[in-house]
Amino acid sequence: METKESTEIKAPLKEHFGNYMVPVRDALEIFSGKWKIPIITALNFYESCGFKELERIVEGITPKMLSKELKFLEENLLITRKVEDTRPVTITYSITEYGKTCRSVMSELYRWGTEHRKKVFNIEGEAWESC
Amino acid sequence: METKESTEIKAPLKEHFGNYMVPVRDALEIFSGKWKIPIITALNFYESCGFKELERIVEGITPKMLSKELKFLEENLLITRKVEDTRPVTITYSITEYGKTCRSVMSELYRWGTEHRKKVFNIEGEAWESC
DNA sequence: CATAGTGATATACTTTTGTATACTGATATA
DNA sequence: TATATCAGTATACAAAAGTATATCACTATG
């Protein structure tokens, strides 16, 4: 037995994981916040929606946040914005084929989150209604 | 053909998805923010660490944030805090068996995030060094 | 002409998240 | 005695995220 074990210096994360964190952060940026997942889910379900439609489907969102998040999702190639030459002008937001690949991440989050709920709150699916 | 299609009212998300979002939010709460994933990764790698050790391993974190996040992770049963009766008192943070289940979520985030990087920035793994 | 719908933007505000810096009390070392 | 380490807390501040409310230009309906 050596005393070395207790005095050993543990290296910073970077030395072991390099830039492992970078893509994890990238993914997290897409899904975190209050509104991105609801918007993606809505467009996954309805394929295409107008701005006012999304305002009603994604309950509680303000136009400022909706506008901001749509811009973000478009920049990240998950949705498209098409301007239709009608009166008044209508704008159609649609999910892209690439946007649909989010489902695998969301279903893993759902799976783990469901287990977590059971573990921490000891709550099963049926009890969600009361939360 | 009916004009109904354009006037059809799309229902709010809740009607189609119920509380599907709740566990997804729960999972996201564990992984979002700047420090939770680095701390979990550090304790996954080293099994056990002291407070000052974590401060050095998780580069850039302030004691305030470290203290706050450790409390959060302990409340969520992902880590444990053990007080050792030494002089000066040392405190050992360890990952729990349950905490290790985070790896499946993190590896899915890593997988999707890596694809996303390729798609949006057209950057491969090797180029991360410059980010 | 008034009202309502389209897709937003502007301003002001609150809350949450994170940073910066200093400090505590106990112990051990130089 | 001065300095350093341990595990944090206290205080102040800055930045990001989100809310609330009003407004814009345009068109269509009553």
DSSP track, B50-81: -HHHHHHHSTT--HHHHHHHHHHHHHTTSEEE
Q: Is residue B3 part of a domain?
A: no
Residue B131: inside a domain? no
Q: How far apart are CA A32 and CA A29, in angstroms?
A: 6
Q: How far away is chain A from the Cα of B38, in angstroms, using its nearest Cα?
A: 8
Rounded average pLDDT over B59-84? 96
Prior bond of B88 cis (ω within 30°): yes
Q: Are B99 and B79 in contact (CB under 8 A)?
A: yes
Query: Is the model's pLDDT at B27 over the cut of 80?
Result: yes
Nearest Cα residue in chain B from A19: B128
**Is the per-residue pLDDT at A43 higher than 60?**
yes
Q: B125: which 2 tokens? A: 């793994």
Altogether, the residues listed in chain A come to a count of 131
- B126 within domain boundaries: no
Q: Tell me what the mean pLDDT of segment B6-19 comes to.
A: 85
CA distance A91 to chain B (A): 13
Of A18, A41, A131, the CB nearest to B17: A41
Whether A9 is covered by a domain: the verdict is no
- Domain total for chain B? 1
- pLDDT at position B5 is 42
Is pLDDT of A7 > 60?
no
State whether residue A100 is helix, strand or coil.
helix
Say yes or no to pLDDT of B126 above 70: no
Is A30 in Cβ contact with B31 (below 8 Å)?
no
Give the pLDDT confidence score for residue A111 in this predicted structure.
97
Q: For the residues B113-127, what does the mean pLDDT come to?
A: 81
Determine how many CB atoms are found less than 10 A away from the CB of residue B49.
23
Tokens matching residue A99: 């946007």
Evaluate if residue A32 carries a pLDDT over 80.
yes
Q: Would the pLDDT of B4 be above 70?
A: no
Nearest to B24 among A37, A56, A125 (CB): A37
Domain residue limits at A104? 17-126
pLDDT of residue A122: 81
Closest of B73, B2, B21, B82 to residue A110, by C-alpha: B21
Domain assignment of residue A57, yes or no = yes
Position A30 scores a pLDDT of 97
Q: Which whole-number Å values give the CA distances from A118 to A125, B55, B70, in the listed order?
A: 9, 32, 21
The pLDDT, as a whole number, for residue B122 is: 80
**Mean pLDDT for the stretch of residues A85-106:** 95
Structure confidence by residue, pLDDT tens digits, B31-64: 999 999 999 999 999 999 999 999 999 999 999 9
Domain of B39, CATH number, reads 1.10.10.10
Q: Output the average pLDDT for chain A.
A: 89
The whole-chain average pLDDT of chain B stands at 89
